[in-house]
């Protein structure tokens, strides 16, 4: 822990939270704010000594709020006794029992990064000085984080109001010497983890149990980490789309800034700007139709030079005779009359042309959720709220106020928006991938991106199956949890947010989204290699000045006794000259950089081979953020 973040309750950012959760930063507490923390604790202790009835301090919780605690028990023991009964007053036992009875989550434990984020959030909100716990208790919670004692918090059990009661109780129970925690990679009883870290269990005072477990830390932690991942994946989606657009030798008109100025949704404008930057320097985008050959299976007599004989494909065009050009004279005055890989149409498919609108809408959903979590990170979310500075108050209810800041609906609805957006981003990625492997839509690329001259190869066929399965899985998980409240606490908590489930779902869904985008990158890299090699093979052929060699690549070339043969010869010579004078064909600079990263780990597939290792590798590249600098 070489670096630390100062927590003052007012200035915690998403970036700082991620640094602590994912990069191991520690935290330190602002001394000025600690004065406010202790003032609220002292105020509360004073009110209790005066006999003031206070929710969660001298009363029970939830549906037990109408029960005032006495000075002593009505009877010492129930039959059977309680060997784990805490020492201290009934008020202290109330707080202890709140934590021990609420730590009832189930399922696999959250990852350490989620729990570290929960600890940071809880510490920061308690630093505001409106919760009533003592400085010593807050410092003990901070020591857990800084000594890397990570409470075991099972994933499932919060309804998102009153906050994340059950998971936060798992977080707090370790402070009492209970529960379990990870320490130095080992899962231990909470008391043993504290001992090994050089820490001691604590005893809770007035309202401290309620301050520790009544808040939105789980849903907020998972939301922030999900949004951090999604921010990166949005950039990966733009990169994958750009590589695919280069592989299609697509059109740039739909990316132009004057186009998006007419419908300036922020995410849409940002996406179009970014994709234009990623494609900068490309000699594939907006290439004239007639220069692009289509794939033809390799044959022994396809090429004459040793360099080209090593290729795994042949190329071809169709010639458009003069008799078929009527009504298209303007087009053929601009483009030579050859049909190759590019269809004679001025617009690309929606998955390419509408990519700024789709990716941009997901960006806007992400931005809206970020706005919500940025507020929540420095909010007070427990109950009741303590206002010791309200010195004009007549009744305690004006200084210790029961409210509903623990309710997670702002977060829940924000994450519902993101939850619906993730399958959209995955779906358009899968459609681009599918377009690449389908010879009916790939603009002249080989079927399933393999030469397959012997008819034995499946190529990238099943990669699309996996992407389709992931998209379906994401779509079926996109139903918002926030629309279905299940009342709790004997209907005292009669409307809950389910925000914890919502945010957890989104965090889980980002993993499958990363797989889909990785599969598109994997496929687009193969397609880009084919497109570049096919175009450059045509350029090399033309550069030798042998128009007859290029004419042999025209599938429907007329015979020399055909009445239009002379016209064909003249036009194929023009095609030869046009190809000969262009430079090497290549993708945009940023796309090339990403392609090099991929090719550094995964080689081009000439013939079928086992692809499971390739798929694992490309998924790991995405998840380890190998493309973050592109």
Question: How large is the average pLDDT for residues 430-443?
Answer: 97
User: Do 567 and 472 have their domain in common?
Assistant: yes
Is residue 119 assigned to a domain? yes
User: Do 185 and 256 have their domain in common?
Assistant: no
In sequence order, the β-bridge partners of residue 26 are 4
Is residue 378 assigned to a domain? no
Question: How large is the average pLDDT for residues 337-358?
Answer: 94
Q: State how many domains the chain has.
A: 2
Q: Any residues with CB less than 8 A from the CB of 269 and at least 6 apart, and which?
A: 257, 260, 261, 356, 360
Domain that holds residue 48: 4-71+88-215
Structure tokens at 155: 């994933």
On the question of pLDDT at 344 being above 70, the answer is yes
Higher pLDDT, 609 or 484: 609
User: Do 42 and 125 have their domain in common?
Assistant: yes
User: Do 540 and 428 have their domain in common?
Assistant: yes
Q: Model's pTM, two decimal places?
A: 0.94
**pLDDT score, position 630:** 86
**pLDDT score, position 56:** 67
On the question of pLDDT at 615 being above 80, the answer is yes
**pLDDT score, position 71:** 57
Question: How large is the average pLDDT for residues 462-478?
Answer: 98
- Beta strands 4-7 and 26-29 are parallel
Minimal CA–CA distance to 115: which of 143, 86, 154? Answer: 154
Is residue 397 assigned to a domain? no
Structure tokens at 564: 């239009």
On the question of pLDDT at 487 being above 90, the answer is no
Is residue 287 assigned to a domain? yes
Question: How large is the average pLDDT for residues 265-293?
Answer: 97
Higher pLDDT, 597 or 390: 597
User: Do 280 and 136 have their domain in common?
Assistant: no
Q: Determine contact, residues 528/243, Cβ cutoff 8 Å.
A: yes
Minimal CA–CA distance to 481: which of 463, 507, 445, 462? Answer: 507
User: Do 266 and 122 have their domain in common?
Assistant: no
Q: Residue 352: pLDDT band by 50, 70, 90 thresholds?
A: very high
Point out the domain boundary residue: 215, 246, 270.
215
Give dist(CA 347, CA 437) in Å, integer. Answer: 20
Q: Any residues with CB less than 8 A from the CB of 188 and at least 6 apart, and which?
A: 180, 181, 182, 196
Residue 7: enclosing H or E segment and its boundaries? strand 4-7
Q: Residue 90: pLDDT band by 50, 70, 90 thresholds?
A: confident
**pLDDT score, position 485:** 86
Question: How large is the average pLDDT for residues 101-107?
Answer: 96
User: Do 287 and 242 have their domain in common?
Assistant: yes
Higher pLDDT, 400 or 188: 188
Is residue 241 assigned to a domain? yes
DSSP 363-396: HHHHHHHHHHHHHHTT---SSSEE-TT-TT-SSG
Q: Determine contact, residues 90/69, Cβ cutoff 8 Å.
A: yes
Give dist(CA 352, CA 248) in Å, integer. Answer: 9
pLDDT in tens, 221-250: 999 999 999 999 999 999 999 999 999 999
Q: Determine contact, residues 348/242, Cβ cutoff 8 Å.
A: no
Is residue 585 assigned to a domain? yes
Give dist(CA 102, CA 509) in Å, integer. Answer: 28
Higher pLDDT, 282 or 49: 282
Give the helix ranges, DSSP H, for 264-327. 266-279, 306-309
On the question of pLDDT at 398 being above 90, the answer is no
pLDDT in tens, 562-610: 999 999 999 999 999 999 999 999 999 999 999 999 999 999 999 999 9
Is residue 231 assigned to a domain? yes
* Mean per-residue pLDDT over the chain, rounded: 93
On the question of pLDDT at 614 being above 60, the answer is yes
Q: φ, ψ for residue 260 (rounded to 5)?
A: -80, -15
Minimal CA–CA distance to 126: which of 211, 11, 13? Answer: 211
Minimal CA–CA distance to 281: which of 592, 597, 64? Answer: 592
Higher pLDDT, 498 or 26: 26
On the question of pLDDT at 72 being above 90, the answer is no
On the question of pLDDT at 76 being above 70, the answer is no
Task: Give the other-Cβ count within 10 Å of 517's Cβ.
Answer: 29
Point out the domain boundary residue: 164, 193, 215.
215
User: Do 157 and 232 have their domain in common?
Assistant: no
Q: Determine contact, residues 290/337, Cβ cutoff 8 Å.
A: yes
pLDDT in tens, 20-69: 999 999 999 999 999 999 999 999 888 887 777 777 677 776 667 667 76
On the question of pLDDT at 391 being above 90, the answer is no
Minimal CA–CA distance to 103: which of 192, 185, 209? Answer: 209
CATH number at residue 10: 1.10.275.10
User: Do 152 and 274 have their domain in common?
Assistant: no
Minimal CA–CA distance to 130: which of 118, 140, 138? Answer: 138
Distances (CA, A) of 349 to 223, 303, 434, 435: 34, 33, 12, 9
User: Do 468 and 535 have their domain in common?
Assistant: yes
**pLDDT score, position 66:** 65
CATH number at residue 265: 1.20.200.10
User: Do 285 and 433 have their domain in common?
Assistant: yes
On the question of pLDDT at 627 being above 80, the answer is yes
DSSP 332-345: HHHS-SEE-SS-S-
User: Do 118 and 23 have their domain in common?
Assistant: yes
Point out the domain boundary residue: 188, 215, 242.
215
Is residue 382 assigned to a domain? no
């Amino acid at each position: 822990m070489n670096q630390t973040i100062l927590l003052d309750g007012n200035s915690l950012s998403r970036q700082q939270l991620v640094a602590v959760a994912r990069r191991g930063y520690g935290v330190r507490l602002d001394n000025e704010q600690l004065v406010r923390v202790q003032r609220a604790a002292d105020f509360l202790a004073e009110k209790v000594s005066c006999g003031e009835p206070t929710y969660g301090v001298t009363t029970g919780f939830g549906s037990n709020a109408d029960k005032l605690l006495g000075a002593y028990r009505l009877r010492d023991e129930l039959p059977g006794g309680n060997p784990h009964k805490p020492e201290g007053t009934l008020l202290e036992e109330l707080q202890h029992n709140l934590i021990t009875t609420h730590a009832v989550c189930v399922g696999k434990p959250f990852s350490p990064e989620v729990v570290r984020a929960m600890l940071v959030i809880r510490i920061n909100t308690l630093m505001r000085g409106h919760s009533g716990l003592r400085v010593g208790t807050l410092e003990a919670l901070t020591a857990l984080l800084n000594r890397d004692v990570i409470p075991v918090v099972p994933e499932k059990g919060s309804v998102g109001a009153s906050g994340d009661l059950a998971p936060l109780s798992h977080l707090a129970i370790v402070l009492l010497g209970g529960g379990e925690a990870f320490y130095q990679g080992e899962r231990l009883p909470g008391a043993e983890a504290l001992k090994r870290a050089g820490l001691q269990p604590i005893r809770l005072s007035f309202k401290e149990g309620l301050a520790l477990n009544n808040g939105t830390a789980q849903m907020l932690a998972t939301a922030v980490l999900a949004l951090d991942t999604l921010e990166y994946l949005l950039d990966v989606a733009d990169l994958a789309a750009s590589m695919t657009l280069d592989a299609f030798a697509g059109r740039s008109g739909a990316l132009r800034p004057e186009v998006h100025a007419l419908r300036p949704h922020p995410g849409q404008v940002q996406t179009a700007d970014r994709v234009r930057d990623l494609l900068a320097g490309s000699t594939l985008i907006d290439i004239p139709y007639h220069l692009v050959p289509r794939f033809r299976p390799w044959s022994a007599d396809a090429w004459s030079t040793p360099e080209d004989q090593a290729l795994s494909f042949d190329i071809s065009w169709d010639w458009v005779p003069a008799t078929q050009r009527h009504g298209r004279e303007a087009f053929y005055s601009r483009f030579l009359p050859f049909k190759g890989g590019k269809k004679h149409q001025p617009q690309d498919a929606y998955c390419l042309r509408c990519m700024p609108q789709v990716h941009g809408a997901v960006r806007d959903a992400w931005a809206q959720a970020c706005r919500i979590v940025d507020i929540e990170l420095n909010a007070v979310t427990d109950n009741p709220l303590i206002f010791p500075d309200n010195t004009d108050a007549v009744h305690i209810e004006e200084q210790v106020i029961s409210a509903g800041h623990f309710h997670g609906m702002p977060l829940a609805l924000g994450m519902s928006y993101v939850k619906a957006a993730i399958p959209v981003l995955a779906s358009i990625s899968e459609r681009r991938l599918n377009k690449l492997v389908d010879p009916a839509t790939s603009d002249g690329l080989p079927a399933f991106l393999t030469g397959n001259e012997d008819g034995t190869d499946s190529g990238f066929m099943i990669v699309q199956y996996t992407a389709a399965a992931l998209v379906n899985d994401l779509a079926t998980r996109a139903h918002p949890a926030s629309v279905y409240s299940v009342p709790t606490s004997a209907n005292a908590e009669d409307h809950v947010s389910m925000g914890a489930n919502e945010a957890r779902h989104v965090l889980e869904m980002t993993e499958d989204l990363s797989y889909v985008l990785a599969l598109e990158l994997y496929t687009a890299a193969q397609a880009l290699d084919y497109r570049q090699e096919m175009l450059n093979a045509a350029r090399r052929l033309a550069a030798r000045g042998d128009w007859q060699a290029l004419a042999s690549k025209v599938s429907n070339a007329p015979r020399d006794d055909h009445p239009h043969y002379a016209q064909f010869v003249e036009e194929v010579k023009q095609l030869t000259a046009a190809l000969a004078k262009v430079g090497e064909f290549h993708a945009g600079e940023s796309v090339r950089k990403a392609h090099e990263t991929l090719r550094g780990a995964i080689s081009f597939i000439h013939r079928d081979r086992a692809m499971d290792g390739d798929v694992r590798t490309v998924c790991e590249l995405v998840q380890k953020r190998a493309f973050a600098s592109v």
